[in-house]
Structure 1
Amino acid sequence: MNNKNRVLALCLGLAASAASLTSSADALDDVRQSGVLEVATEMQFAPFDFHENGEQAGLNKAIFAEVGKELGVEIEFIDLPWPSVLPGLEAGNFDIVAGPIIVTQARKARYHFLTPIAESTVALLKRAGDDSIESPEDIAGKTAGGGQSSAQLAALKAYAETLDEPVEIKEFVDNNQAYAALASGRIDAVANSLPNIGYVASQRSNVFKVVQPPFGEPSYFAYLGRDDEESRPLLDVIDEVLLKMKDDGRLAELQKQWLGQAMDTPRGDFEPNI
């Protein structure tokens, strides 16, 4: 290679490196330039996201209000059916998923998770007054359900395999449909994370009751984004805000308000047990 070609190759290499560095900050730059952070969620997941008197309410809205203040941007929530949320993220249709989603080893290998914002250990919800279910193993021989494509449904299926009698498992498009089926007697129990069913039972104590204790491995809820260089700077900045909220007590106060108690969750990156 002559000197002229060497210089040309060097220039091309430097240009490629510069382009790569620019690309790695694109997601953060785009949000700052537009002044809007696009957050996908399913507003059928109380107490994290739901409608109250026609308006969005829940822990996600409260947390991202703080994120918006810290970043100096507006938060735009995009309400979608849960099965379409992760495909939409991968297609680049929005910046981050609020969900929140249970951190699993399989998901962690595919997505970038932020600092967990709540515990998510799975438990069962039953009809109030149903004395045939006093503990999780009592669903043997009965019918139970959960949200389609959810980690809670997967946990229910795995747990059912350990019981002496088979459990008929039914999948629902969202949790509200599962709760409606439970209330009407079409199923005997719904599997969901303890914060979710605890909130539902507190709102409708004459209809529902939580089955104690929870079952399965301890787990945690977190927000997530695409695991690529372009998204990472934005996710890192949001994670810094969540850690700041954890340290100054704002996260604990919001947990008490929406989940009934402050929750001890891991800091930053951690290895899930599930």
Structure 2
Amino acid sequence: MKKMLLAATAVLALGAPAFAQETLRIATEGAYAPWNFLNDNGEPAGFEIDLGNAICETAGLTCEWILNDWDSIIPNLLAGNYDLIMAGMSITDERLATIDFSQNYFPPDPSRFVAAPGSDLDFSALSGARIGVQSGTMQAGYAEANLAEGNTIVSFSTADQNMADLMAGNIDTILADGAYLDPVVNASNGAIEYYGEDVLIGDGVAAGMRKNEAELKAQIDAALDMLKADGTVDALIAQWFDGMGPFFTE
């Protein structure tokens, strides 16, 4: 499994960490802009990287970033290969059966359908459609549970592969997070557009962790409380999501 480690030294703002380790190992996909991606130097960047580093600074920890493919990101958390997931992951009942989450740091984000202009699909009652989703996402789970009858659900390892097949005409539509789709649609010069009603799934985006990690959960939530209260979270959302928000401050 390909991994990339990147350490960022944090200021010990809160004194000695309550977390048993002084280094917080955070896994991210590095392929889901603007949440997380690799910059021109091949280093993790994006909203969650900046927020994760701010969490470490506030909590008095050192961040170590680990790249992991989306499909195996939860299994490798459970195997102890890292302590936290920050990868555009929404809180869902299905995931809560296996892992725990911090409080959310991005509110529930409507999922949306995109397709080429002039699509003749009836998005109020999809039938005969090839629907692209990223495997292991809440959209994939929703599609399999609610859209599989009469349609073909096509799963892709990454969001980029999903979008490439839509552009190539190999699938008819994509169901994905609105916050991910917005910049893609805006940059497409009319090559794709939104269709149908928003689909509400999940309880917002948060950091995933193993169950029974009470000290870690408390420390992450305490840091997020501070970063929400001082406007840091809203400022990072506005920076990375084209002025979106504010959500956590008035």
Structures share fold, TM-score greater than 0.5: yes
| 1:140 pairs with 2:127 | yes
Q: What does residue 193 of structure 1 align with?
A: 177
CA distance in 2, matches of 1:151, 1:51: 23
Q: What does residue 246 of structure 1 align with?
A: 228
Give the residue type in structure 2 aligned to 1:97: I
- Bigger Rg, which one: 1
CA distance in 1, matches of 2:203, 2:178: 10
Give the residue type in structure 1 aligned to 2:210: R
TM-score under structure 2 length normalisation? 0.83
Which one has the bigger helix percentage?
Answer: 1
Pair 1:126–1:52, CA change in 2 (3 A)? farther
Gaps of 5+ in 1: 1-25, 266-274
CA distance in 1, matches of 2:179, 2:111: 9
Q: Give SS of 2:197's match.
A: coil
Pair 1:259–1:72, CA change in 2 (3 A)? same
| 1:149 pairs with 2:136 | yes
CA distance in 1, matches of 2:36, 2:219: 23
Measured against aligned partners, the alpha-carbon deviations of 1:8-59 in whole angstroms (never above 9, x if no partner) come to xxxxxxxxxxxxxxxxxx98122x2xxx221111111122111232443211
- RMSD between superposed Cα atoms in Å: 2.3
CA distance in 1, matches of 2:187, 2:210: 35
TM-score under structure 1 length normalisation? 0.76
Q: What does residue 57 of structure 2 align with?
A: 69
Gaps of 5+ in 2: 1-16
- Aligned counterpart for 2:38 among listed residues 51, 56, 79: 51
- Aligned counterpart for 2:113 among listed residues 105, 115, 124: 124
C-alpha contact (below 8 Å) 1:121/1:219 kept by paired residues? no
Runs of 4+ in 1 over 6 A off after TM superposition: none
**Identity over aligned residues, as a percent?**
23
Q: Give SS of 1:124's match.
A: strand
Give the residue type in structure 2 aligned to 1:256: A
- Aligned counterpart for 1:259 among listed residues 241, 245, 248: 241
Measured against aligned partners, the alpha-carbon deviations of 1:86-130 in whole angstroms (never above 9, x if no partner) come to 000111110101123221123223322111122232211223x23
